[in-house]
């Protein structure tokens, strides 16, 4: 319990420096998935975290936000337990459960949240670490972030049908990709007429929301469209249109 109490005191006595990584692994602590699907009606969905180090112990905090870089925790889905130790070479499940806010989520389309696993090394125990905190030393914590998709019942299309249903329109500077489906579609690659279109998560242009569209600048506007979308297992599914 000493380290748990220590983490609670860190915001008061020390500077805690966070580095966020939109991936399933950071700081020796990883998540055994690149995305999580929470189907409406499920009582809970497990998420497995692992400590891949041989000697380091971590104190891990898990929570959801509405945006990838958000800090305000969202209680639409609860994460249990919210804080725990993860010993070296060990793994542990946490569970996502529907919170009170789930009842007001849209029923005609998916909703997206971001699962954060924030890890701080807990190897310096007892007085040494307590003294470091009291002196105001900087502590570094890394966090992994993956997407959580809340999927309502009775959506009319399958994921595969939705990913293959994208349509394309020419624009003044390139093309518009239209998602007519109730699913979030995350592109891992896109080309038009054999010319690759730039996709970059930092540019927020890889995920197209339900019933929405995204503009992409490209000098090539005509020709065969080939794209790959991330499926429920985190793999790539490829599609094309003439």
Q: Over pLDDT 90: what percentage of the chain?
A: 70
Give me the pLDDT at residue 126, please: 46
SS3 state at 220: coil
User: Which candidate, 203, 207, 202, 204, places its Cα nearest to that of 227?
Assistant: 207
Task: Give yes or no for residue 209 having a pLDDT over 90.
Answer: yes
Give me the pLDDT at residue 136, please: 46
If pLDDT is split at 50, 70 and 90, which confidence band does 23 have? low
The HSE-up count of residue 103 (CA atoms within 13 Å, CB side) is 2
Q: Do domains 16-151 and 159-241 have the same CATH topology?
A: yes
CB atoms within 10 A of CB 171: 13
Task: Kindly indicate whether the domain formed by 159-241 is annotated with CATH number 3.40.720.10.
Answer: no
Task: Give yes or no for residue 156 having a pLDDT over 50.
Answer: yes
Q: Give the E-state strand segments of the chain in sequence order.
A: 15-21, 25-26, 29-31, 35-39, 44-51, 58-65, 77-80, 83-86, 91-98, 111-121, 138-151, 167-170, 174-179, 185-192, 195-196, 207-208, 212-217, 225-230, 236-241
Task: Kindly indicate whether the domain formed by 16-151 is annotated with CATH number 2.60.40.10.
Answer: yes
**Six token digits for residue 187:** 């592109």
Give me the pLDDT at residue 143, please: 87
For the chain, domain boundaries: 16-151, 159-241
Task: Give yes or no for residue 237 having a pLDDT over 80.
Answer: yes
pTM: 0.84
How large is the average pLDDT for residues 44-58?
94
Task: Give yes or no for residue 51 having a pLDDT over 80.
Answer: yes
177-195 confidence digits (pLDDT tens): 999 999 999 999 999 999 9
How large is the average pLDDT for residues 204-208?
97
């Amino acid at each position: 319990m000493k380290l748990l109490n220590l983490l609670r005191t860190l915001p008061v006595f020390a500077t805690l420096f966070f580095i966020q990584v939109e991936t399933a692994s950071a700081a020796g602590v990883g998540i055994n998935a690149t995305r999580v699907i929470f189907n409406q009606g499920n009582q809970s969905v497990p998420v497995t975290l692992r400590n891949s180090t041989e000697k380091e112990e971590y104190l891990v905090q898990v929570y959801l936000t509405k945006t990838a870089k958000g800090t305000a925790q969202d209680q639409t889905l609860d994460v249990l337990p919210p804080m725990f130790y993860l010993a070296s070479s060990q793994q542990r499940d946490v569970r996502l459960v529907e919170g009170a806010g789930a009842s007001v989520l849209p029923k005609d389309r998916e909703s997206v949240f971001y699962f954060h696993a924030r890890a701080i090394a807990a190897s310096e125990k007892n007085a040494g670490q307590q003294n470091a905190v009291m002196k105001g030393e900087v502590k570094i914590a890394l966090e992994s972030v993956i997407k959580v998709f809340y999927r309502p019942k009775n959506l009319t299309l399958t994921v595969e049908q939705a990913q293959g249903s994208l349509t394309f329109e020419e624009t003044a500077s390139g093309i518009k990709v239209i998602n007519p489906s109730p699913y979030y579609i995350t592109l891992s690659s896109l080309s038009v007429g054999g010319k690759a279109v730039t996709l970059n998560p930092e540019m927020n242009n890889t995920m197209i929301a339900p019933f929405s569209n995204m503009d992409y600048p490209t000098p090539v506007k005509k020709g065969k469209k080939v794209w790959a979308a991330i499926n429920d297992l985190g793999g790539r599914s490829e599609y094309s249109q003439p």
